Amino acid sequence: MEKMNKPLTKNINPDRAFATLADYESTGGYQGLRKAVTELQPKDVQQWVKDSGLRGRGGAGFGTGLKWSMVPMDADVPQTRYLIANADEMEPGTFKDRMLMEQDPHQLIEGMIIAAYAIQSNIAYIFLRGEYHLAAQRLEHALQEARSKNYLGEHILNSDFNLEIVLHTSAGRYICGEETALLNALEGKRATPRAKPPYPLVSGLWGKPTVVNNVETFCNVPHILHYGVEWYLGLGRGEDKGTKLFGASGRVNYPGLWELPMGIPIREIFEKYAGGMRSGYKLRGFLPGGASTDFLLPEHLDVLMDYEAVAKAGSRLGTGTLIVLDDKTCPVKMVLNLEQFFAKESCGWCTPCRDGLPWTVTLLKDIIAGKGRIEDLDTLTGLTRMLGPGNTFCALAPGAVEPLQSALKYFREDFERYIVADKESA
């Protein structure tokens, strides 16, 4: 029963390197696919996933089944459709997809095959972060195993459904994880975001209807088909359904990653699983969903880890991986570190991101070096608005300024201390 409550990690065993095809099949692997292609029509699979309430696990939280149902499938639309797994995991503080691919690669593959069947796609791609060498090796091995058992290829499980999955290793850059920049990169073009509309669901890879989902999203799909919608609905504690991989990094006793119900309180993750702060350190704040989310404070520990609850508290669930700020780490320097990363990873396609993020870095460096002015804090605040949602081609810049805008809100005295100290020394 315990493994039924933790479907994503039930095959992950510290006593073995990773789950092979035999390991995966022994715990019900590929039974969800078998059910889909032998008992259900593509629209039925879409409806199952829609009814399950599965939301995208890459950060945006869009309804997965709803997304699939938007793909044009009428007789008069292009018959070529593409499916892509976004495995370009480069968000600082996030490492959940890496564990899934390295430890249980068949789970991703089965989820993709079911999804491809649901939208009637015959070609799919895994767009993998270039630095994930071990994941690449294990995915290639798993793809070969799947082909040998007719889970991939022609007439899958003696049906009329054909599919090939291609592993594509990214050349790098954080921007490649943005959906439309990923499509350009896969086409061999410069990885810059596309204007929307048209949306990829209608005109994506090479102008054809395309679905892009996160690795963890796909990994949920086999279990929904195997165990059923009602079972999946019963896994979450809050408004959102299923389980999720939640992580914690920073000066906690047990940094790591755990599969837990959606809607679990942040306090339970922080105290029970991460073990609280190390001796000699106190919790000052945390980013709840990776580097591109707003800071929350100790007073927010009882917030539930679901999309609406975290948004109401003033941040985003994002990837669900806590980055913990302790009382001996300077929040100004922590934010500078993040802004330097985002400024470097900007594709330069739009002016606010290309010029605005380096400007935040310059101002933060000046403040830390004792060259700042109190007016610089107003300039930084203004930049967070100018780089906010709706002002850039994609979400890189709006996400990049979330830790900055919340640090200015919650830790303003730390910024001012650098400036006041300089005035006093002068």
DSSP 76-136: TS-S--EEEEEE----TT--HHHHHHHH-HHHHHHHHHHHHHHHT-SEEEEEE-TT-HHHH
Contact 92, 293 (CB under 8 A): no
Contact 145, 106 (CB under 8 A): yes
Element containing residue 399 per DSSP (H, E): helix 396-400
Contact 258, 246 (CB under 8 A): yes
One pLDDT digit (tens) per residue for the chain, 426 residues: 445 899 999 999 888 899 999 999 999 999 999 999 999 999 999 999 999 999 999 888 899 999 999 998 877 666 899 999 999 999 999 999 999 999 999 999 999 999 999 999 999 999 999 999 999 999 999 999 999 999 999 999 999 999 999 999 998 889 999 999 999 999 999 999 998 899 999 999 999 999 999 999 999 999 999 999 999 999 988 889 999 999 999 999 999 999 999 999 999 999 999 999 999 999 999 999 999 999 999 999 999 999 999 999 999 999 999 999 999 999 999 999 999 999 999 999 999 999 999 999 999 999 999 999 999 999 999 999 999 999 999 999 999 999 999 999 999 999 999 997 655 554
Distance CA 286, CA 31 (A): 40
pTM exceeds cut of 0.75: yes
Domains with residue ranges and CATH for the chain: 7-233 (3.40.50.11540), 250-324 (3.10.20.600), 331-425 (1.20.1440.230)
Specify the pairing of strand 283-287 against strand 321-326: antiparallel
